[in-house]
């Protein structure tokens, strides 16, 4: 696993706010950030159908890999026998 830095890029964003994520690939780092974003904002915009642009780079390096990340809302049900 390699440490990556990732950020969601908004049109009006001017800051350099990168999140450090340990991942096996740049793509996995982008997917982890999308999940983290949806969970921490509790808005679930990505899994709700809105795609986001995420930039990823290996920590300490300047080459940026750009991804469009989208999600799917999957319903999962569990039934437990009670009688």
Residue-wise pLDDT for 1-30, tens only, equals: 889 888 888 766 665 678 999 999 999 999
Q: What is the pLDDT of residue 66?
A: 93
**Which parts of the chain fold into alpha helices (H)?**
26-41
Residue-wise pLDDT for 39-70, tens only, equals: 888 888 888 888 989 999 999 999 999 999 99
Q: What is the pLDDT of residue 31?
A: 93
Q: What is the pLDDT of residue 5?
A: 86
Count of other CB atoms within 10 angstroms of residue 48: 12
| Domain coordinates in residue numbering, the chain | 2-69
Query: Does residue 53 contact residue 34 with C-beta atoms inside 8 Å?
Result: no
12 DSSP 8-state letter: T
Record the pTM: 0.79
Maximum C-alpha span of the chain: 60
User: What value does the CA radius of gyration of the chain take, rounded to a whole number of Å?
Assistant: 16
Q: What is the pLDDT of residue 44?
A: 83
How does strand 65-69 pair with strand 19-23? Answer: unpaired
């Amino acid at each position: 696993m390699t440490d990556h830095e990732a950020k969601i890029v908004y049109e009006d964003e001017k800051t350099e706010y990168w999140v450090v994520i340990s991942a096996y690939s740049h793509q996995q780092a982008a997917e982890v950030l999308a999940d983290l974003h949806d969970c921490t904002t509790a808005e679930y915009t990505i899994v709700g159908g809105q795609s986001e642009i995420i930039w990823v780079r290996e920590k300490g390096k300047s080459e940026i890999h750009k991804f469009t990340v989208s999600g799917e809302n999957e319903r999962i049900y569990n039934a437990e026998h009670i009688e």
